[in-house]
């Protein structure tokens, strides 16, 4: 038996999780190619929970009863569509304070006192994976949290040296670390540079000190700008996270923040929407509240995108913009190519071929499992080859763009044949635009950009959703639309992975 997350299209608070039981007697609506445009146009008249949702994932999060694999070699037993390559994520949960908007697993304040023990166990976890990855190459590392730069310099040296000792890094590997105001000094930045860190992501959210105070973030903007100037001088490839959609937010606040960061010379900017669903009190157990700023957020995000493009930035993900030649974010872009992601630390979410997984979310079981020389994995969600294919298809469409020719080379599947009627319909409705083999969602699709990629889910998966309770389907827009849309396949999916692969360069 499997159970679905109450939020379905993101890993967040589980408000409700009905079981996905035995196959339902109900059947999906059969595909009617001629009537599909009118049918989808009517089905899509439903509001998402909020906009934009950036931690969207396919397949939708499951609470799975599958037992975690006994070893890393078992976890990585399926062939990869990215042979010889992988990336690393390390979760460091330590922060000075808990931001009001944060939903990640963190240990604020005096939690830093546990950092030395946590690092010891994190290095032990590395040791469980390293033997299975010999001969393969790590192309990117992302050290996130939390605030990893809350650690002191000797700890950062210990951590990154341990990574280098256990994993084979490509010479041009992207090594990113997250930082927050008040945690960077010149000497710490110089240490990170010497350790090979070549990308820094700085979480400041806004330059409005009054709004910062409402987030439980207390620092002077001038001090943060000083740290950014140091980071630009020493690291160079710096990203700044911005956020919008706060209560009583002045109109144009996001645009003024972006303009200021551009003036400071920041080469990469990320835009996030405040998720009031996670912080609003009085949630109903019957489902998440709808976002009252939904229309405003779509408009504000659109204006911000236009502004950044005018300033010479280019989107590498839906919400991440870089100046060509100065900024990068290869780690996240490559994530949607089904590149294996070895994730370490509490609550870390990883991806082995056909095996998404998530680590346990608390220190006690994390330490206990590692003391037993076991992977600290809480859940795994085995995928069929068809579901792995659609994971890449839907994720690329959701976050970047979809290359149909690349999919055919990697999976042996012609999406124009399998989903030809769906693709043509979404183009006719103005939700997809096509340039040769490249498909991308349009601005018109913004209202439904959490849902449209899900329409490419295999019909067999949508059939399973029919066993969910009707009241659940009525509350949550993603499964509701997937079921109501009915069959969207024009032909069967028959994945045929290449029999030979070219080795990764050393």
Task: Label residue 291 by pLDDT band (50, 70, 90).
Answer: low
Residues of each domain in the chain carrying CATH 1.10.10.920: 2-62+386-485
Question: What local confidence, expressed as pLDDT, does residue 8 receive?
Answer: 40
Q: Residue 278's closest CA among 287, 288, 268? A: 288
Q: Is the model more confident about 345 or about 9?
A: 345
Of 1.20.1250.40, 1.10.10.920, 3.40.1190.20, 1.20.1560.10, the CATH number of 2-62+386-485 is 1.10.10.920
3-state SS assignment for residue 160:
helix
Tell whether the model's pLDDT for residue 277 goes beyond 90.
no
CATH label, 72-335, candidates 3.30.930.10, 3.90.1150.10, 3.20.20.70, 3.90.190.10? 3.20.20.70
Is residue 492 within 8 A of residue 418, CB to CB? The reply is yes
Cis ω on the peptide bond leading into residue 59 (within 30° of 0)?
yes
Where does the chain hold its CATH 3.20.20.70 domain(s)?
A: 72-335
**Apex CA 122: angle with CA 121 and CA 123, to 5°?**
90
Is pLDDT above 70 for 279? no
pLDDT tops 80 at residue 48: no
- For residue 34 the two structure tokens come to 């001629």
Burial of 259 (0-12, 13-18, 19+ CB in 10 A): middle
Comparison of pLDDT for 296 and 227, the residue scoring more: 227
The mean per-residue pLDDT over the stretch 393-415 comes to 95
In which band, very low, low, confident or very high, does the pLDDT at 106 lie, cut at 50, 70 and 90? confident
Structure tokens at 424: 């043509």
What band does 275 get if pLDDT is binned at 50, 70 and 90? low
pLDDT tens readout for residues 141-173 = 999 988 899 999 999 999 999 999 999 999 999
Tokens of 321: 């913009």
Residue 1 has a pLDDT of: 36
pLDDT of res. 63: 47
Average pLDDT on 268-281 reads 70
Examine the pLDDT at 12 and tell me if it is beyond 60: no
At residue 45, the pLDDT reads 74
User: What pLDDT is stored for residue 221 in this prediction?
Assistant: 86
Q: What is the mean pLDDT of residues 467-495?
A: 85
Is pLDDT of 67 > 70?
yes
Q: Report the SS3 class of residue 475.
A: helix
The 8-class DSSP code of residue 284 comes to: B
Residue 458 has pLDDT above 50, yes or no: yes
Q: Is 506 exposed, middle or buried (0-12, 13-18, 19+ CB in 10 A)?
A: exposed
Residue partners of 25: CB distance under 8 A and separation at least 6 = none
| pLDDT of amino acid 311 | 98
Better-predicted residue by pLDDT, 284 or 119 = 119
Higher-confidence residue: 409 or 108? 409
Q: In this structure, are residues 204 and 238 in contact, taking their beta carbons and an 8 Å threshold?
A: no
Residue pair 351/107 in contact (Cβ under 8 Å)? The answer is: no
What beta strand segments (E) does 245-283 contain? Answer: 268-273
The confidence band for 499, taking pLDDT boundaries of 50, 70 and 90, is low
Residue 276: the pLDDT is 56
pLDDT of the residue at 282: 43
- Interval 162-188 mean pLDDT: 96
* Strand spans (E) along 276-385: 314-317, 320-322, 341-344, 349-352, 355-359, 377-380
7-16, 44-53, 128-137, 152-161, range with the lowest pLDDT:
7-16
Residue 464's pLDDT is: 87
pLDDT of 102 above 90: no
In the chain, what percentage of residues exceed pLDDT 70? 84
- Tell me the pLDDT tens digit for each residue of 327-342: 999 998 898 899 999 9
E strand or H helix that includes residue 439: strand 438-441
Dihedral of alpha carbons 400, 404, 409, 410, sign? positive
Q: Using CA atoms, how far apart are residues 430 and 419, in angstroms rounded to an integer?
A: 17
Q: Give residue 286's pLDDT.
A: 41
Q: What is the pTM of this model?
A: 0.89
Which pLDDT does position 20 carry in this prediction? Answer: 57
* Gap between the Cα atoms of 401 and 396, Å rounded: 5
Residue 283 has pLDDT above 50, yes or no: no
> Measured between alpha carbons, how far is 192 from 200 in angstroms, rounded to an integer?
10
- Strand 62-63 relative to strand 85-92, pairing: unpaired
Which is more confident, 124 or 288?
124
pLDDT on residue 501: 44
Q: Which residue has the higher pLDDT, 417 or 45?
A: 417
319: left (phi over 0), alpha (psi -120 to 50) or beta: alpha
In this predicted structure, what is the pLDDT of residue 473?
Answer: 72
State mean pLDDT over 21-38.
84
Higher pLDDT, 45 or 77: 77
Q: So what's the pLDDT on residue 55? A: 61
CA-to-CA distance for 96 and 187, rounded, in angstroms? 20
Query: Average pLDDT of 210-236?
Result: 85
Edge-to-edge order in the sheet of strand 438-441:
402-403, 438-441, 432-435
Residue 40's contacts (CB-CB under 8 Å, 6 or more residues apart) are: 425, 426, 429, 455, 485
Query: Tell me, what's the pLDDT at 61?
Result: 62
In this prediction, residue 295 carries a pLDDT of: 79
Biggest CA-to-CA distance, the chain: 65
Question: 32 falls in which pLDDT band (50, 70, 90)?
Answer: very high
For 349, phi then psi, to 5°, come to: -110, 120
Please work out, in degrees rounded to the nearest 5, the angle formed at the alpha carbon of residue 302 by the alpha carbons of 298 and 308. 145
pLDDT digits 0-9 by tens, 369-391:
999 999 999 989 899 999 999 99
Q: What is the pLDDT, as a whole number, of residue 66? A: 81
């Amino acid at each position: 038996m499997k159970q679905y997350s109450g939020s379905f299209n993101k890993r967040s608070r589980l408000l409700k999780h009905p079981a996905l039981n035995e196959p339902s007697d109900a059947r999906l609506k059969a595909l009617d190619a001629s009537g599909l445009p009118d049918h989808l146009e009517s089905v899509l008249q439903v509001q998402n929970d909020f906009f934009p949702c950036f931690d969207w994932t396919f397949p939708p999060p499951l609470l799975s009863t599958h037992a975690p694999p006994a070893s890393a070699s078992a976890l990585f037993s399926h062939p990869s569509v990215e042979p010889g390559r992988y990336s690393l994520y390390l979760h460091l949960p330590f922060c000075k304070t808990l931001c009001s908007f944060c939903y990640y697993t963190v240990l604020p304040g005096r939690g830093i006192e546990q950092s030395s023990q946590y690092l010891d166990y994190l290095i032990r976890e590395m040791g469980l994976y390293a033997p299975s990855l010999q001969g393969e190459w790590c192309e990117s590392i992302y050290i996130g949290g939390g605030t990893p730069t809350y650690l002191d310099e000797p700890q950062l040296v210990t951590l990154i040296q341990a990574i280098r000792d256990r994993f084979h890094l490509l010479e041009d590997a992207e090594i990113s670390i997250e930082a927050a105001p008040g945690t960077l000094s010149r000497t710490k930045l110089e240490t990170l540079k010497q350790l090979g860190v070549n990308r820094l992501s700085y979480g400041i959210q806004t330059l409005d000190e009054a709004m910062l105070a409402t987030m439980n973030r207390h620092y002077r903007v001038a001090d943060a700008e000083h740290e950014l100037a140091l980071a630009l001088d020493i690291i160079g490839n710096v990203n700044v996270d911005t956020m919008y959609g706060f209560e009583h937010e002045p109109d144009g606040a996001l645009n003024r923040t972006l303009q200021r960061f551009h003036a400071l010379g920041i080469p990469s900017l990320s835009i996030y929407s405040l998720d009031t669903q996670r912080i609003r009190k009085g949630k109903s157990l019957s489902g998440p509240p709808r976002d009252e700023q939904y229309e405003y957020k779509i408009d504000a995000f659109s204006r911000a995108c236009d502004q950044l493009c005018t300033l010479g930035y280019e989107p590498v993900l839906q919400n991440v913009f870089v100046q060509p030649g100065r900024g990068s974010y290869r780690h996240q872009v490559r994530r949607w190519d089904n590149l294996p992601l070895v994730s370490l630390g509490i609550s870390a979410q990883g991806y082995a071929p056909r095996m998404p997984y998530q680590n346990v979310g608390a220190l006690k079981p994390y330490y206990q499992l590692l003391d037993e020389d076991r992977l600290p994995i809480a859940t795994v969600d085995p995928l069929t080859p068809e579901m792995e294919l659609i994971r890449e298809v839907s994720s690329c469409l959701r976050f970047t763009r979809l290359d149909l020719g690349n999919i055919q080379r990697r999976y042996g599947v012609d999406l124009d044949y399998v989903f030809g009627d769906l693709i043509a319909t979404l183009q006719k409705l103005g939700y997809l635009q096509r340039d040769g083999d490249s498909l991308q969602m349009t601005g018109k699709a913004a209202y439904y950009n959490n849902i449209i990629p899900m329409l490419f889910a295999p019909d067999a998966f949508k059939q399973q959703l029919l066993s969910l309770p009707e009241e659940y389907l009525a509350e949550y827009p993603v499964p509701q639309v997937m079921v109501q849309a009915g069959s969207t396949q024009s032909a069967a999916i028959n994945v045929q992975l290449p029999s030979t692969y070219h080795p990764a360069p050393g």
